[in-house]
Structure 1
Amino acid sequence: MLEITAGKSALRLSRPVIGASGAFGFASEYSKLIDLSLLGALVTNPISLRPRRAAHSTRVVPLDGGVLIHTGLPNSGIHKMHRQYAAKWRASPIPIIMHLIGSADDLAECAIFLDQQSEVAAIELGINDTLTAREVRAVVATVRARTQLPLLAKLPLYQAVNVAAAAVDGGANALVIAAPPRGTARDPLSGQLVGGRLYGTWLKPLVLRLVGQLAMRLDVPLIGCGGVHHPDDVRDFLEAGARAIQLDSVVWARPEMVTAIAQAFSVGELTRMAGALADEWRAIGEPAERRTQLLLAPPPPSMPSPPEI
């Protein structure tokens, strides 16, 4: 069992497969398509302190190899959402992780509220891609000071390397690598350009490199998210150093694969990086001169697998 601890609180995952925020709804919306008990945990759609309305423009734009989605992150605000879903979260066969969005002050208020409840097992913070490392550290620390729940920070794809250590310094107990990147595409129906989040299998190589790089630098559980559509994708992430993965677009494209992926993995599949890849991962993201030095240097010794729990 993978355990992410925060003081006396712990998030325990029976499988290294998690339903990602924005893909599975707020609770049991996909329960008729998928046996949610096969997952290790479920992350809610984004929830804010105050209500947010849905986007009025185009929400979905099909792309080659993926999709662009712009929803506006609609929700009724944390207090009403809790009243509406608390019973379902309490009855859930798997741990519920609430994904929070908003300013530092809003996130702090949400954390205080959740610390007084019992239905949510952990918090996932959506880290804005405009924040500097110093700002990320401050935001995470603000939330950490107001809750004893395990805290996951979901990092923006293109800033993950720059802000990961700051999130850990601020008190994150695990890092999710990474949030779907933003993009723009033309809606074929309206002819308008639409901005939104990008999903699809093409994201996997990008995220996999980040996981491998950060696994060499940080001693904190990493959760890979992006482009996982097959059990082999999960194996790649676990080999790169992730302790778990999150599923998103596969639930829309091939929901039957969610079951196949979840059933393919048990706690015994959890591994750290293979030594054969260590020389590759440690050079990723370094300046060219430093990367050459690292790749020409003797490879580090293979890391032993952690003891089975």
Structure 2
Amino acid sequence: MIEITRAGKYSLIIDNPVMIATGMAGFDATAYRDLIDLEKLGAVVTAGISWRARGPAYGPRVVPIGGGFLLHTGLPNPGARNVIKKYSRQWSKSSMPMIAHVISTTYEDVVRCAEALEGSGGVVGIELGLRDDVLPDELTASLDAVREGSQLPILLKLPLHSAVDLWEIAEQSGADALVVAAPPRGTDRDPISGQLVGGRLYGPWLKPQVLRIVGQIAELATIPVIACGGIHTPDDARDYIGAGARAVQIDSLTWVNPGMVEVIARNLGGLELTRAVGALGDEWEPGLGKTQVMQRDQGRSAPPPASPPPQLPELPPRDEDQTAPTDPTNDL
């Protein structure tokens, strides 16, 4: 049992530290029920929900990039009332906890959305998404809006490039957990249409950047940190736990290799089979050997090297002396 929000009357406790991130499995994850044993997961975060309906983005939605993909969806959803009408019964019957991802819009609409989700009965928590350029006052107002509409625990998903600057404000403003981080934005050319497309970036190359920020925040924060970004192997997930994360969310791997999501959940959830030295072959505990079979079937060869985009956060300009001393506080 893992408590992934601050302790209190409405704290959120899950059985496994592995979750599916928002936008990866729709509103109820049933599309993956034949690919993943969903009961092995700790929770699933729904696709983004807003009070008012949102249409899909125009043009290309997915653009392949080196080592991952760029995703531009527009956060389409039929609006909170329609989502709840269609899925609340499934949420209530699900043996897997469902966390609703709320899109931060106006104060009034966030309050209404939180109120509706509170009354749905099938949601165990709310994850609040923010704009990349959110200001501290806007962050506080968005948290206040969710709390006005609901007593469910609030997981705040921080923008990657401003997470270090905003986490303390989020903690002081009432967030119950910090999700680090939302995928960064980028632009690339769609090879089919030839158009330049902007969107969020996904792929294993994100992990070193997110891991550094998770470690910085987890060292200082007094509320749980949940890591999200670039997890494609059990070792990736364990690196985040080692850096101080209480749990992890898996995003792009859910699309690329959904079977590995279950392998990671089994690995971190203690379902890897071990036995004493010298034990006989028939001393395996029934059922637990499936993890090893799945791992074998997924393949153990290392993935090919990923090519990150040409510009990453914190890289110095090319004309700077790469050997020049840096501010030691940057390595905290």
Bin the TM-score by the shorter chain: 0.7 to 0.9
* CA apart distance, 1:145: 3.0
Identify the range of structure 1 (239-248 vs 32-41) with the bigger mean alpha-carbon deviation: 32-41
1:152 aligned to 2:190?
Answer: no
Match of 2:17 in 1: 16
1:34 to 23, 33, 36: 36
1:118 aligned to 2:121?
Answer: yes
Structure 2: distance between partners of 1:268 and 1:239? 19
1:54 aligned to 2:56?
Answer: yes
- Given residue 107 of structure 1, which amino acid in structure 2 is its aligned partner? V
* CA apart distance, 1:184: 0.6
* CA apart distance, 1:137: 1.9
Structure 2: distance between partners of 1:86 and 1:142? 22
- Given residue 66 of structure 1, which amino acid in structure 2 is its aligned partner? G
The alignment's TM-score, normalised by the length of structure 1, stands at 0.85
1:142 aligned to 2:145?
Answer: yes
Number of corresponding residues = 278
The alignment's TM-score, normalised by the length of structure 2, stands at 0.80
Structure 2: distance between partners of 1:161 and 1:268? 34
Structure 2: distance between partners of 1:234 and 1:163? 24
Structure 2: distance between partners of 1:226 and 1:29? 22
SS of residue paired to 1:116:
helix
Structure 2: distance between partners of 1:44 and 1:193? 28
SS of residue paired to 1:62:
strand
1:77 aligned to 2:79?
Answer: yes
Match of 2:204 in 1: 201
1:223 to 214, 221, 226: 226
* CA apart distance, 1:268: 10
Structure 1: distance between partners of 2:148 and 2:203? 36
Structure 2: distance between partners of 1:133 and 1:147? 21
Structure 2: distance between partners of 1:52 and 1:289? 44
1:253 to 232, 245, 256: 256
* CA apart distance, 1:266: 2.1
1:89 aligned to 2:91?
Answer: yes
Unaligned stretches of 5+ residues in structure 1: 270-283, 296-309
Structure 2: distance between partners of 1:140 and 1:17? 25
Match of 1:2 in 2: 2
Identify the range of structure 1 (136-145 vs 124-133) with the bigger mean alpha-carbon deviation: 136-145
Identify the range of structure 1 (100-109 vs 63-72) with the bigger mean alpha-carbon deviation: 100-109
Written as runs of structure 1 = structure 2, the 5 A alignment for 1:246-285 is 246-266=249-269
* CA apart distance, 1:105: 2.3
Structure 2: distance between partners of 1:152 and 1:201? 23
- Given residue 124 of structure 1, which amino acid in structure 2 is its aligned partner? E
Match of 1:25 in 2: 26
* CA apart distance, 1:134: 2.6
CA gap of 1:121–1:24, structure 2 versus 1, over 3 A, is same
SS of residue paired to 1:49:
coil
* CA apart distance, 1:258: 0.7
- Given residue 178 of structure 2, which amino acid in structure 1 is its aligned partner? L
CA gap of 1:169–1:267, structure 2 versus 1, over 3 A, is farther
Give the aligned CA root-mean-square deviation in angstroms: 2.0
- Given residue 2 of structure 1, which amino acid in structure 2 is its aligned partner? I
Match of 2:180 in 1: 177
- Given residue 16 of structure 1, which amino acid in structure 2 is its aligned partner? P
* CA apart distance, 1:135: 2.1
* CA apart distance, 1:158: 0.3
* CA apart distance, 1:2: 1.2
Structure 2: distance between partners of 1:66 and 1:193? 17
Percent of aligned pairs with the same residue?
A: 50
Match of 2:329 in 1: 291
For the pair shown, which has the larger CA radius of gyration, 1 or 2? 2
Contact conserved, 2:6 with 2:223, CA < 8 A, in 1? Answer: no
* CA apart distance, 1:103: 2.5
* CA apart distance, 1:35: 1.1
SS of residue paired to 1:259:
helix
Q: Deviations over 1:186-244 (max 9, x none)?
A: 01111110111110000000100010000122111000000001000111000000000
SS of residue paired to 1:251:
helix
Q: Deviations over 1:127-177 (max 9, x none)?
A: 111112232122212322331100000000001011111111111100000
Contact conserved, 1:150 with 1:173, CA < 8 A, in 2? Answer: yes
Contact conserved, 2:238 with 2:268, CA < 8 A, in 1? Answer: no
* CA apart distance, 1:100: 0.4
Match of 2:319 in 1: none
Structure 2: distance between partners of 1:170 and 1:108? 16
Q: Deviations over 1:27-58 (max 9, x none)?
A: 02211211111100000000110111112210
- Given residue 169 of structure 2, which amino acid in structure 1 is its aligned partner? A
